[in-house]
Amino acid sequence: MGRLRASYQRIPQGEPVRLAKRSSNLFRPRTEIDRPGLDVSGLTGVIGVDPTARTADVQGMCTYEDLVAATLPHGLTPTVVPQLKTITLGGAVTGLGIESSSFRAGLPHESVLELDVLTGAGAVVTARPEGEHADLFRTFPNSYGTLGYATRLRIELDRISPYVALRHVRLGLDRLAPAIEEIVASGMYDGEPVHFVDGVAFSPSEAYLTLGRNSDAAVPSSSRGKASDYTGQQIYYRSIQQRGTDFLTAHDYLWRWDTDWFWCSAAFGAQKPLVRRLWPRRWRRSEVFHKIVAFENRHQVAARINRRRGHPDRERVVQDVEIPVGRLSAFLRWFDAEVGMRPVWLCPLRLRGAASWPLYPLEPGTTYVNVGFWGTVPIAPGARDGDVNRRIEQAVADFDGHKSLYSDAYYDRDTFDRLYNVPALTEVKKRYDPDARLTGLYEKAVTRR
């Protein structure tokens, strides 16, 4: 903490306060500024795990990979473990996160019991649901560092068994919503308990829900005597189409999407058998692929090659949106017809508590489905870079949905302020960042400052 405070003091008065952080899971390029930043290198650990109370005290820049490594030996995990290993706990709370337990456990910030925040004013305050700093506690989720940075969080933990048994259930688009609603209401499907659920739509005629169940039993003989391993030659998302059932260790289930960055590793050739054999296993992880994308964003090597070959420029479309479950099939049909990216990820979620959160106003008691799509599309003749993303933003509004801000956003300021309740953020910001040392939410999400 002393290193953090000292780095804050070194930032000249009037200069913006930012993290001096080498890596990020954000997809919002911003202008690089050669100025001092907050040194958070000492805030990357797990302070302690209490197996009896099922809580953990964790520093804000601790990755979920390190957090899970500390909790899993106790048969515990965070209530929601985002899909990528290098997402930090502080990042998931201030920027939202989601995974296959979100249909019952909500979002990561709903597991926070208290957190210490370094504010824009340079003070460290402890925020809890009640008390002096309850306004900061409620407004912190989806604030993306505009109110401060979490230095310590106390979170609830959930039990997990040594294994997770999976069923990949193929459903038509019109059957997805009823199945999800059944699972949310009962925690069961077709007579079996469901502890985790997500899915993939490969096309309008081929969609799957993957239903996970905690299992303490030994690996069944149908799995050929061992749990599946998708860190080697086999690729997890392809198995969804190929296998009706599967069996993973809890560790491998939690990180099943990280090895191939869902399916995005195909863009780098990492799914070709020969390339995969030569690609070191330790480098088959989302962090490495993200660094390759960041290099391309800076140097435009692939884009220049693409132009020399006479191909149109491409627009990056990397988004996660929340759609009310009753409108899911209609949105997926619109998306496939108008955008055409395949496959897309599906993850049901529902706020765990009865209260909404000011900066991301999902309705309590309403089931949503996160639809995730990540890739590029060709820019049509006469179109602008960003046009497809703008159409998606409008469609999400038309379908009564919400859009995550970890990637590019194109809203005008008035629309953005309304959708993300910026007036509420502004009131809290006056108290904790009175000199506006921290970048505003619109500037971070849209103008990329």
pLDDT band for position 253 (cuts 50, 70, 90): very high
pLDDT band for position 303 (cuts 50, 70, 90): confident
Give the residue-averaged pLDDT of 70-91: 97
Range of lowest pLDDT (209-223, 261-275, 290-304, 383-397):
209-223
Q: Which residue has tokens 């990329």? A: 448
What domains can be seen in the chain, in order of their start residue? 2-33+42-160+422-447 (3.30.465.10), 163-256 (no CATH)
Q: Is pLDDT of 131 > 80?
A: yes
pLDDT tens digits, residue range 334-357?
999 999 999 999 999 999 988 889
Angle at the Cα of 327 from the Cα atoms of 81 and 213, rounded to 5 degrees: 35
pTM value is 0.94
Give the residue-averaged pLDDT of 275-292: 93
pLDDT band for position 173 (cuts 50, 70, 90): very high
Helices (H), 11-157: 64-71, 89-95, 102-105, 134-139
Helices (H), 310-373: 328-338
Q: Is pLDDT of 16 > 90?
A: no
Q: Which residue has tokens 């650990």? A: 45
397: left (phi over 0), alpha (psi -120 to 50) or beta: alpha
Q: So what's the pLDDT on residue 305?
A: 83
Separation of alpha carbons 119 and 17, rounded Å: 10
> Average model confidence (pLDDT) for the chain?
93
* For the ranges 1-10, 152-161, 301-310, 438-447, the one whose mean pLDDT is highest: 152-161
Residue among 303, 277, 279, 299 nearest 289 (CA)? 279
Q: Is pLDDT of 299 > 90?
A: no
Q: Give the phi and the psi of residue 345 in degrees, each rounded to 5.
A: -90, 145
Q: So what's the pLDDT on residue 221?
A: 47
Give the residue-averaged pLDDT of 109-115: 98
Separation of alpha carbons 331 and 175, rounded Å: 14
